Structure 1
Amino acid sequence: MQRIVIKIGSHIISEKHTLSHERLKNLVEFLAQIMDKYEVIVVTSAATSTGNTKLSLDRTLLINKQVLAAVGQPYLIASYNEYLAKYGKLSGQILLTPKDFKFKKSKQNVKNVIEAMLDYKILPIINENDVTATEEYFFGDNDSLSSLVTYYCNADLLVILSDIDGFYDKNPHSFKNVKRFDKIEKVKKKWLKDEAKGGSEHGTGGIITKLKAARFLLGKNKKMFLCSGFDLKVARTFLLENKQIGGTLFEKLDA
């Protein structure tokens, strides 16, 4: 059975700093469907936004964000399990920081527990441990985390469900007549440099971390698929019917 990682952006399951139960329900239905065909690992965001459903704090302060994540993470997992139970599925929580990928033993520990969960048909749901992460050991985005999970857990494909529905030749929010790339066989260093400067005409906000994730995976002979998490038809068709009707597929090694 092929193994895949599904990365879920915070905007997909949260709205106005609160959890969107309607979108989470739709997402869980999708996950339950693909779990019958694949070994699935989920990397999810939105712990802080979920915490906002319980209390309102100033999110510009780091300590408040940590408190919100501490409150929100168990509620987020409980919500996942509530909806998964309708399909006879169960999930388990794994919180990681960059330290967990720094040493061989810790990487193996992460892999071992994920392997065991998959053997027991439990859906591993991974998030960065925002409560204990420090500036020295902080991913800052789950695109990087999901790419590491894909590689170290021997997954074949990373699927990023995002508010960005693909990679474009120009920013679709700023330009007309834009072109979406169906397939990219290499990630150009120029794209990363342009995006890092800000104001680039390529893609939309947040695309830089996705391009870095794609570049890392292509260098490891892995694939990545970027598509919308709002309209799951593209992801569902790609994974269940092996047809690409949207999104951008990154594959092959960068020469």
Structure 2
Amino acid sequence: MKRVVIKVGSAVLTQDGEIALTRMQALVNFLAHLREKYEVILVSSGAVAGGYTQLQLDRSVLANKQALAAIGQPVLMQRYAKKFQKHNLITAQVLVTAANLNKEDDISRVRNTVETLLQNGVIPIVNENDATATDELELGDNDQLSAYITNHIDAQMLIILSDIDAYYDCDPRENTTAKALKIVHEIPERELCREVTPNNLFATGGIVTKLKAAEYLLKNNKEMFLASGFDLSDVKSFMLDGRHKGGTLFTNKG
């Protein structure tokens, strides 16, 4: 059975300072369906936002952000567990930092944990351990984290569900004639050097971190699919029906 990693961003999981429970349930329903065809690992943002629902601290201060993540991790996991329970699925939290993914021993332990969970029908939910990470170790709204996880646990593809529904030939917010690119084999260096411009209060990524994730995976002969996390019709069509209607596939194939 093929293995896929699904990363969902803070912009999708939060709305008006709250966890977007309807969108979370739609995501869970999709993953439960996807699991019938693939081994599924979820990389989820949203811990800081989850903490903010309980305690409104200034997240621009690193110590506050780490405290919010510590508060929000159990909140987020409780919500996921409850929603996956409707499908009779058990979830497990796997917390990692960039440092873990730079050491072969740590990589092996993460891989073994995920393998054991999958073998026992459990949904691994991976997140960066913001409560202990530093500025130097932050991976970029889990985009890089999800790419590293995809590579190190031998998944075939990373799916990023975001407020960005595809990779365009120019910025669609500034140019109404911008066209979505359905398949991308190579990313121009200038695109990887652009300024990170997140759209959401709780997000730290943007299109640049997604392109860097895609570049990393292309170099490791993996694929990435970028699609909307607000409307799951494109990712459902691509992954469940084999029809590429919308979203962007980054691949070395073809």
Please tell me the TM-score bracket, short chain as reference: over 0.9
Task: Tell me how far apart the structure 2 counterparts of residues 219 and 246 of structure 1 sit (CA, whole Å).
Answer: 24
Q: Distance in 1 between matches of 2:61 and 2:167?
A: 32
For residue 197 of structure 1, report the CA deviation from its aligned partner.
8.2
CA distance in 2, matches of 1:95, 1:130: 9
Q: Distance in 2 between matches of 1:59 and 1:104?
A: 32
Matched, 1:240 2:240: yes
Question: What are the within-5 Å matches in structure 2 for residues 144-183 of structure 1?
Answer: 144-183=144-183
Cα separation, 1, equivalents of 2:90 and 2:219: 33
Indicate the residue corresponding to 1:66 in structure 2: 66
Distance 1:196 1:220 in 2: 25
Contact residue 10 and residue 46 of structure 2 kept, 8 A: yes
Partner of 1:202: none
Runs of 4+ with >4 A deviation? none
Alignment of 1:68-217 (within 5 A): 68-193=68-193, 195-196=194-195, 206-217=206-217
Residue deviations 1:214-252, cap 9 Å, x none?
111001110000000000011111111111110000000
Q: Aligned partner of 1:74: which letter?
A: P
Alpha-carbon shift at residue 206 of structure 1 (Å)? 0.9
Cα distance change on mapping 1:210 and 1:197 into 2, 3 Å: closer
Q: Is the 8 A contact 2:196 2:208 kept in 1?
A: no
Task: Provide closer, same or farther for how the CA distance between residues 218 and 75 of structure 1 changes in structure 2, counting only shifts above 3 A.
Answer: same
Task: Return closer, same or farther for 1:154/1:57 CA change in 2, 3 Å cut-off.
Answer: same
The runs of 5 or more residues in structure 1 that have no matched partner are: 199-204
TM (norm. structure 1) is: 0.93
Give 1:196 deviation, angstroms. Answer: 3.6
Q: How far apart, CA to CA, are the structure 1 residues paired with 2:160 and 2:96? A: 18
Which amino acid letter does the alignment assign opposite residue 106 of structure 1?
Answer: D
Number of the residue aligned with 1:54: 54
Name the CA distance, whole Å, in 2 between partners of 1:197 and 1:149.
22
2:202 counterpart residue number: none
> What letter matches 2:224 in structure 1?
M
Counterpart for residue 10 of structure 1 = 10
Shift of 1:53: 1.4
Q: Equivalents in 2 of 1:53, 1:209: separation in Å?
A: 26
Q: 1:19: which partner in 2? A: 19
CA–CA distance in 1 between the matches of 2:5 and 2:163? Answer: 18
> Match for 1:240: what amino acid?
L
Q: How many residues align?
A: 246
Q: Is the 8 A contact 2:84 2:90 kept in 1?
A: yes
SS of the equivalent of 2:118 reads helix
- Secondary structure at the aligned position of 1:227 is classed as strand
Q: Deviations over 1:85-110 (max 9, x none)?
A: 00111110011101111111111000
- State the secondary structure of the residue aligned to 1:154: coil
Which whole-Å CA distance do the structure 1 matches of 2:240 and 2:80 have between them? 22
How much does 1:210 deviate? 0.7
% identity of equivalent residues: 43
Gapped regions of structure 2 (runs ≥ 5): 198-204
- What are the residue-to-residue correspondences of 1:32-51 with 2, within 5 Å? 32-51=32-51
Aligned partners of 1:172, 1:2: CA distance in 2, in Å?
A: 34
Change in Cα spacing, 1:97 to 1:179, as seen in structure 2 (3 Å) is same
Secondary structure of 2:137's partner?
coil
Counterpart Cα distance in 2 of 1:29 and 1:68: 27
Cα offsets for 1:172-210 (capped at 9, x unmatched)? 1111111110100111212213x2487xxxxxx711111
